Amino acid sequence: MSTESNGNSQGAAHHYEEASEVPSNIRKYWQQRHSIWSKYDEGILMTDDAWFGVTPEPVAMKIAEHLAKILPPEKTVLIDAFAGVGGNSIAFALSGRFKQIFAIEKDAEVIKCAKHNAGIYGVKNKIFFVKGDCFESLPQNYKKTGQNAVIFASPPWGGPGYTEDAIFNLSTMEPYSLEYQFTNFSNISSHIALFLPRTSNLNQLARFAQGENKVQVMHYCMKGASKALCVYYGDFKILNEAQEEEEEETMLEAPEG
């Protein structure tokens, strides 16, 4: 999940080494730092807000693995629309599947973290970092590129309060609703992967199924608990491998009428 907050700066980048340094509101996330980043101790940088939204490395790697399996071969470009501190972009670069990876992030301090972290994982030169708003940058710069691209988006979910919803309303997700994202992204690429809260309303997701295509929804778990889901829109292959313990797949069809 991107950690952007209405365009405001998220503050300075940090590498916290001792619990006493860590603000109380992010301490529980910092305590999981080695599950989030396997190379955290090598100097990973984060803004404080980034702790709420960075995709844990095992989940990011599994998403990258799945995209590599189900994308049509001509889709050789990956656009990470809300790159944050780089968790997903790094995983996509490590997969070796894509000829080009564009990581778009509007916050200067956050994109500094992403570049630094990509360097720690040895893939900084495999990612094009773009400072800007994805909804402005995509139509201006990626209209032609989109023909060969998949758009991955881990958007803001409106803050930690999303965990209180039994069913998460994607129509009121802030600051960008599901409809707003899908409409804008589908103008660029026919292949879209959205990383969303695990309690997302499946009926709302199904409304954007295209034609006869079924929509794949995959829950990504750690230690048996779902962390989030990813919905795959477009002509993706169906993941027909035996589902592992840490994954759960759902197929959605467009509602009639």
Q: Which residues share a beta bridge with 130?
A: 104
Q: Could you please report the per-residue DSSP string of 188-235?
A: T-S-EEEEE-TTB-HHHHHTT--TTPPEEEEEEEETTEEEEEEEEESS
What CA–CA distance (Å, rounded) separates 110 from 131? 10
What CA–CA distance (Å, rounded) separates 235 from 163? 31
Residue partners of 100: CB distance under 8 A and separation at least 6: 76, 77, 78, 128, 145
Query: E strands of the chain, at which residues?
Result: 77-80, 100-105, 128-131, 149-153, 192-196, 215-222, 225-233, 247-252
∠ CA 157-256-201, nearest 5°, is 20
Give the predicted TM-score (pTM) of the model: 0.90
Class of domain 55-243: alpha beta
95-120 pLDDT, tens digit each: 999 999 999 999 999 999 999 999 99
For residue 105, which of 230, 1, 2, 191 has the smallest C-alpha distance? 2
Domain boundaries, the chain: 55-243
* 3-class DSSP state of 168: strand
Give me the pLDDT at residue 255, please: 54
Tokens of 150: 């998949």
Q: Cα dihedral angle (30, 36, 37, 38), rounded to 10 degrees?
A: 110
For the chain, residues with pLDDT lower than 70 are 1-10, 159-164, 212-213, 240-257
Tokens of 65: 């693995």
> Treating both helix axes as pointing N-terminal to C-terminal, what angle do 108-120 and 87-95 enclose, rounded to 10 degrees?
40
State which H helix or E strand residue 63 sits in.
helix 57-70
